[in-house]
Structure 1
Amino acid sequence: MFRQLLTLFASFFKIGCFTFGGGYAMIPIIRKEVIDKRRWVEKEEFINLLAVAQSAPGPMAVNVSIMVGYKIFRTRGAVAAFFGTVLPSFIILLVIAVFFSRIDENPTVNSIFKGMRPAVVALILQPVFAFAKGLKYWEYGVFIVIAAAIWLQISPVWFIAGGIAAGAGRTYWKTKRPTRP
């Protein structure tokens, strides 16, 4: 059990070490690790975990790691995945905080950060395209309408609440309607 927890911790530690750009940029790397390499979760289940992680408070990548860890090893797995995900960022930020005053105005450092921006945008968009495969046409329409509304600064909370209500209503309608002979 300890060895498996260590593997879980190491997997998420590696993800945390080599991902820049926040939670969305981590998604393709987490997906590859937990679906393709380790086979800890199935693709459909991962999509569901992303939906729950997005609507839960806190950083999405951390929420996903906690849910994957919990699915595999319950509370111990959630704790191992959590620390694996956040420790690299904590250590890196601690080191940067100590030395940042020396590099704050360095043009080379500023150029490096500017050069990383396109890569981070690509990492954020990659899961969008990967998960869009297999959507129905009406789902593409919903995606476009919601993306446009968010771009117009309408709070995504309304869409999450609407999705919850629509899903609950659909389930209720399917289970409560009378069956026909």
Structure 2
Amino acid sequence: MSSSRSSRSGGSNNSGKKTRAAQQSVRQLIESLETHRVNALTELCRIERVAAACDTEEDTRAFQGPMTAAWDYYVTTNQMLSELRGLTTEFPFCGDIVTDAQIRVRNDPDSNRSWNLAWLCLVKIIDDNLIPLYAASEAARLEMWDGREPEQSEVDQLAACFEYEWNMAVQNMLRHWHGTPTWY
């Protein structure tokens, strides 16, 4: 009988240890978001998945503010642009696209559907066809042609190259989410 009691109390003690360990892990992840120790897409997505899988409503709510702020920081500090440019080595991603997408998201009343500014911006880039717009504009700039006036076919060809590489980068980043990142 004493061994039976001992195993029961040991089980509940282990359960308590797991709960404390889980709470400590949640606190550490939240602290890493608040101090911006984590500011890369893959790591933010990993923490986002942990937050979405929380067992308690209290933990879920604890993640909401810091996760929202971390995604905002990721976009506004140009880390998102840096990562997009890392994916577009031949034709560097145009920073004006990210800026335009941010403005559009912040002015969109439906943007409250997610806490994730990066995801919202990437979706806005696609939904509002910003890549073709900016690819054509960038390709037509005289700086792209060393000051000479290009033929329209040359501009179209360069714009197509921009579009292809920039679209691939955006799609690559969107693969980090299997669905809309929302708390509900």
Q: TM-score, normalised by structure 2?
A: 0.24
Q: TM-score, normalised by structure 1?
A: 0.24
Name the structure with the higher helix share.
1
